[in-house]
Amino acid sequence: MLAFRQAQANDLPILVQLLADDPLGKQREDARFPLPEAYFKAFQRIDQDPNQELMVFLDQEAKIAGMFQLSFLPYLTYRGGIRAQIEGVRIRRDLRGQGHGTEVFTWAIRRAKERGAHLLQLTTDKQRPEALQFYRKLGFVASHEGLKLHL
């Protein structure tokens, strides 16, 4: 069973390594040491925002096993509802395929409900078909067409 806690600034090198540990992440992350200052500034913004929860989960030896970020988005539709979004889900390479992903999403769904969210949404890159299959297995439905504009 995994233990969950909020990320701390001293976790950043491991978190960035997790983000960079796949073909897509290698293209957009910079995990060199020392880490670029941009990661520390981003962590501060996330850490100071009550609608952001950057989470880590720990293995049996209390080492970081993975991470994700939950964002809580208040809006007017759904009678002033709250939408939760999960992003940046990463599991350490040596722990993949052991059921931890399901445990992570069970925790995230429970947390979203605790915060009053009526919906948990996510995006996944089309270059990750195995992730899409996993999310569908968990009950996520491709109900909308998502578009992005890189700036």
Note the pTM of the prediction, 2 decimals: 0.93
Nearest to 105 by CA among 75, 84, 125: 84
pLDDT level of residue 128 (50, 70, 90 thresholds): confident
Q: Is 69 exposed, middle or buried (0-12, 13-18, 19+ CB in 10 A)?
A: middle
Q: pLDDT value at position 143? A: 92
Say which DSSP state 4 is in: E
Q: What is the tens place of the pLDDT at every residue in 56-76?
A: 999 999 999 999 999 999 999
The mean pLDDT of the chain is 94
Q: pLDDT value at position 23? A: 80
Q: pLDDT value at position 86? A: 98
Q: Is the pLDDT of residue 1 over 90?
A: no
> 32-36, 137-141, 144-148: lowest mean pLDDT where?
144-148
